[in-house]
Amino acid sequence: MDTKTFKVMLVLMISQLIAITCYGQLYMTKTGETSFFSETPLENIAAVNKQVLVILNSANGEIAIKMQQRSFHFPNKLMEEHFNENYMETEKYPAAVFTGKIKEPVDYSKDGNYAVHADGIMDMHGVKQNQSIKGQMVISGGQITLTSDFDVKLADHKIEVPTLVIAKISESIAVKNKFVLVPKKS
C-alpha cells in the first residue's frame, strides 16, 4: 500500500471514530411496557402494552417512544373493543408517539441512579401536546432501565367519553412506563 492510500484510509478511520464518539451510543427496546389505570367508584379500568418501541441517544439525551394502541390488552375483551373503537379510534389513530429530550446530564458510562425528566411532544389521538415527564433512570452493566409515572387528561387529546359511561371512566388516566434499554447493535 502506498503512502497516499494509507493516509486516506487513516483519515477515513479517524473520521469514523470521531463520528461514533460524537453521536454516542443508541439504546433501544422493542419490548418496553406501558400500562394505564383509571379508577372510578363504578369500575376500574386497566391495560398493558408490552410492545413499546423506545430509542435513546446517549450523546444528546434525545428519546423517542412509539406504541401501537391496539397492543394494549385488557382483562376484559369488551373493554379492549371499546378502547379501540370508541375512545382511541385506533383505525384512524393507530399509534401514540412521544419525542423529547432528557434534560439532566447523565454519565452513561457509569452505573448509577438518576432522577430525570424529558420535555417533548406527545402525539396521541391526532393531538400533539407539550409534555414533561419525570422519571428514574438506572444504569447497570451497560443496560438502562427507565421508569416513569404521569397522568394524561383525556380532554387534552380530544378523547371523548360518552355521557352514558362517564361515571365509569376517569377524566385523567394514570400511566406507568418501564423500559429496559440495551445498546443498539449496528
Nearest in space to 90 (alpha carbons), one of 47, 134, 132, 133: 47
Confidence band (pLDDT; 50, 70, 90) for 1? low
Query: What count of other Cβ atoms lies within 10 Å of the Cβ of residue 119?
Result: 12
Query: Using CA atoms, how far apart are residues 81 and 54, in angstroms rounded to an integer?
Result: 26
Contact of 130 with 121, CB cutoff 8 Å: yes
What cell was used for 168? 365509569
Supply the Cα-derived Rg of the chain in whole angstroms. 21
- Whole-angstrom distance, CA of residue 7 vs CA of residue 42: 74
What is the tens place of the pLDDT at every residue in 9-64?
Answer: 444 444 444 444 444 699 999 999 999 998 776 778 899 999 999 999 999 999 99
Q: Please report, for residues 31, 52, 69, 185, the alpha-carbon distance to residue 103 in angstroms, rounded to integers and kept in the order given.
A: 24, 22, 27, 25
pLDDT (tens digit per residue) in 60-110: 999 999 999 999 999 989 889 988 988 889 999 999 999 999 999 999 999
pLDDT greater than 80 at residue 186: no
Alpha-carbon distance of 36 to 73, in angstroms, equals 10
End-to-end CA distance of the chain: 29
State the pTM of this model. 0.82
Please choose, from the candidates 89, 137, 96, the residue with its C-alpha nearest in 3D space to the C-alpha of residue 113: 137
State the cell numbers at 182.
440495551
Q: What is the pLDDT of residue 3?
A: 55
